Amino acid sequence: METSSNSTDSNPQSCQPCPVRILVQTLTHLVPSDIPNTDRDPYNIKFFSMLDRICRYHWNCDFAPEIHRCASYGDDFAYNNRFCFFLIDYGTTSNDDDVPILCYEWTGQDLQDKPFPELLQSKDVQDELKDMPFTPRRREPRERPPVRDIVRGRLRRTQHIRDRDIEHLKQHPEDMEWLQRKLKPRLWAKLLDQIESQPRRKEEEQKMGIIYEPYRPSQHES
């Protein structure tokens, strides 16, 4: 991530202790990318760049997964001019209903100085927040979505396709036909490029000693 300025405390302990939810609305093409060469991992770079910006604005510290909880919605960064939302929760409470929700809008340069409470008037936003309780709860295991749905979603979010899913597509031409019908031509071309470059990439990663952690479903796949 981009180096914090002298006025920004990277120590998460500088965060205030009061429980709070921070909800930010923006457009997909306005989400910042604070690390150059975004081809390496464009989705995560944008995702965590936005989280850092929010935390610096509100707490004067970078996003810290050990104390902050986060979620996103509509983060299909492969498309422009689409609404997307970032949610950061901090603290604990005995009653989720007592936790204030502070809403802001990211303009592409900074967060609006004044709150954006009208965001909470949207029924769609209210419904999504109900599905994301402030106090973490045990999530019931869900069946993994079809591979073709996972692949389409990852392409929309500018995420790389996992090797296990590429191998599945090689063995299931019917899923490739489905994706060709459903994807925009530029995303279809990206998929073909990833499939074609997979052997070369894996060979390079083996030479570099890169080892990936076991597969765990993301928030979009569970």
DSSP per-residue codes, 97-129:
GGS-EEEEEB-SSSB-SS--GGGGG-HHHHHHH
State the pLDDT at residue 41.
Answer: 78
State the pLDDT at residue 138.
Answer: 83
pLDDT above 70 covers what percent of the chain?
Answer: 80
**Which of 20-24, 97-101, 189-193, 205-209 has the lowest average pLDDT?**
205-209
pTM for the full predicted model: 0.82
Q: Is the dihedral of CA 82, 103, 71, 109 positive or negative?
A: positive
User: If DSSP codes are grouped into helix, strand and coil, which group holds residue 159?
Assistant: coil
Domain ranges for the chain: 12-130, 147-205
Cα separation of 173 and 115, whole Å? 50
Cα separation of 173 and 167, whole Å? 11
Mean pLDDT, to the nearest integer, of 59-68? 94
Whole-number average pLDDT of the chain:
85
The pLDDT tens digits of the residues spanning 117-145 come to: 889 999 999 999 999 999 988 878 888 99
Cα separation of 16 and 163, whole Å? 42
